[in-house]
Amino acid sequence: MAIDDLRALAERWLADDPDAVTRDELRELIAGLPATTAELRDRFAGPLTFGTAGLRGRLRAGPNGMNVAVVTRAAAGLVRWLAAQDADGPLVIGYDARHGSREFAERTARVATGAGRAALLLPGPLPTPVLAHAVRSLDAAAGVMVTASHNPPQDNGYKVYLGAALGGPGGAGAQIVPPADTGIEAAIRSVDTLAGVPLGGPGTVLDETVVEGYVDRAASVVAAGPRALRVAYTPLHGVGGAVLTAAFRRAGFDAPDVVAEQAEPDPDFPTVAFPNPEEPGAMDLLLALATAGDADLAVANDPDADRCAIAVPSAAGWRPLTGDQLGTLLADHLIRRGRPGTYATTIVSSTLLRALCAARGVPYAETLTGFKWIVRAAGELAFGYEEALGYCVAPDLVRDKDGITAALLVAELAAALRAEGRTIADRLDELDSEFGVHRTDQLSVRVTDLDDITRTMTHVRGTPPTRLLGEDVTGTEDRLPDADVLTVRTGRTRVVIRPSGTEPKLKAYLEVVEPVADGDLAGARARADAAMTDLRREVSAALGLA
């Protein structure tokens, strides 16, 4: 695009931008041309696309960023789409403590009321599961959660949940799926000028009753039983701390010991490189607190508290569990409790849940990645999880991943085992001994140019590996055009390659299964670890990363 055309495009956007801060930001970039050409081109390369994860992007002026102008268009498109579907009921709006979240939520409320729809705002920065629950409990037409979850501090996002009328039995209070995403996207594109979007009143700010209702229901997830347990906890500078603590107390547990440096919401996330408990170093302060306090369990939520990570004590120190390990533990616990229904996970999660369900004679389902699919996997969903630390342990409460109820359920398991003189590590040993060591890992490559992901996926599709760990590949499955996912299998390995749906990353999900011979669990785990090291190297080479 020529500089004069780029200038004209930016000036048209500037004239329609309702926010003084981003107008000033854009004026400065326009005045800086031609030195700012690359930056302006990036901001006007195209609008953020409204997909099944809603919107997510950097906080900055222009159509390719999260700002008041983009949120106003998104809200206007959403309420137009809801009207076209004849969807009755209010729009419930939640937000976290990130930069811009409250402003974006309040703007969404004014757009909704301006279109004649009631807008109900949660009473402050709160976890995503509270919003997902509120959509169901308030019989809303839809819900909006302003959050970028575990993304870096410069990002924000906008997620949409559907009520029962539009979501159906499995999707009541769940995130949108096609064709809702394309319908909303088309409605957003139909918005002409923002000056023509009517703005109404601020809507109704709900009182704490909506939070109390969630806490009461969350506490009921755990059954009667032992409660003696010392828990160390971090909300990672997010909004989960007060709600999780209240839920633990309501369920009969002592309040957890909280990492002081990360206890209060802080949109800059100053103590971590990335506010994601999966990232190296993110749980260091938590594990230090757990060690100092002689805790039985260490728990971390991500900033909007829809994910849950745990670590358990071992002879070698604190041992963080993978999402697959915790997912299988929770499924096994619920099966032992006799919960009926289908146990579901995704195509990138470990195959251990499939084996567990087959052995226990309970229904199993496997879906594409994302909780929008997991919660729709079966009419009667008992439990669902994905390896990225997401768990739906109470589908009738929250039809999405919920890091608070997951933490309660793992606390129940840990307390019951502790009362027997056993630990979560002991239960993991039992599962590995019965089903073999299912070692999982992930290669994750963050990019600045999304075309790099496309090129890598094209490369690996053109020349997929034919041997892994010395074994011939027995199956290759390409899920295009339905999903950008390639799966490669041998007798004891599986590799799933896909772009991330929420971050600029390419991901390869790796699994090695090592049987336990003659009760030698330590030997099987050592072999699995060595095999995973080799598999990482081979897959890196196949992706052109080595």
CA separation for the pair 52, 482 (Å, rounded): 14
The residue with tokens 């009473």 is: 123
Q: How far apart are CA 365 and CA 383, in angstroms?
A: 10
Q: Are residue 537 and residue 508 in the same domain, yes or no?
A: yes
Q: How many domains does the chain have?
A: 4
Q: How confident is the model at residue 378 (pLDDT cuts 50, 70, 90)?
A: confident
Does one domain contain both 175 and 262? no
Q: Are residues 446 and 366 located together in one domain of the fold?
A: no
Domain of residue 232 covers 212-432
Residues 162 and 202 in one domain: yes
Res. 184: pLDDT tops 80 = yes
- The set of catalytic residues is 149
pLDDT at 545 over 80: no
How far is the C-alpha of 381 from the C-alpha of 201, rounded, in Å?
39
Are residues 308 and 424 located together in one domain of the fold? yes
175 lies in the same domain as 225: no
Residue 37's identity, in one-letter code, is T
- 110-165 pLDDT tens trace: 999 999 999 999 999 999 999 999 999 999 999 999 999 999 999 999 999 999 99
The answer to whether residues 89 and 163 touch, using CB atoms and an 8 Å cutoff, is: yes
Enumerate the β-bridge partners of residue 95.
Answer: 146
Percent of the chain residues past pLDDT 70, beyond the cut: 100
8 Å CB contact between 509 and 387: yes
Pseudo-torsion of CA 241, 246, 247, 251, nearest 10°?
140
* Proportion of the chain above pLDDT 90, given as a percent: 91
The string of pLDDT tens digits covering residues 219-276 is 999 999 999 999 999 999 999 999 999 999 999 999 999 999 999 999 999 999 999 9
Q: What is the pLDDT of residues 1-35, one digit of tens each?
A: 899 999 999 999 999 999 999 999 999 999 999 99
**Do residue 290 and residue 415 come from a single domain?**
yes
Amino acid at position 122, single letter: L
**Residue in this structure with the two tokens 């081979």, named with its chain if needed:** 538
Nearest to 73 by CA among 203, 199, 201: 199
What is the average per-residue pLDDT within 50-59? 88
Tell whether the model's pLDDT for residue 503 goes beyond 80: no
Which pLDDT belongs to residue 546? 58
Q: 278 and 186 in one domain? A: no
Q: Is the dihedral of CA 133, 138, 139, 144 positive or negative?
A: negative
Whichever domain contains 456, its CATH number is 3.30.310
307 and 403 together in one domain = yes
Residue 356 CA to residue 350 CA, distance in Å, equals: 11
Mean confidence (pLDDT) of the chain: 96
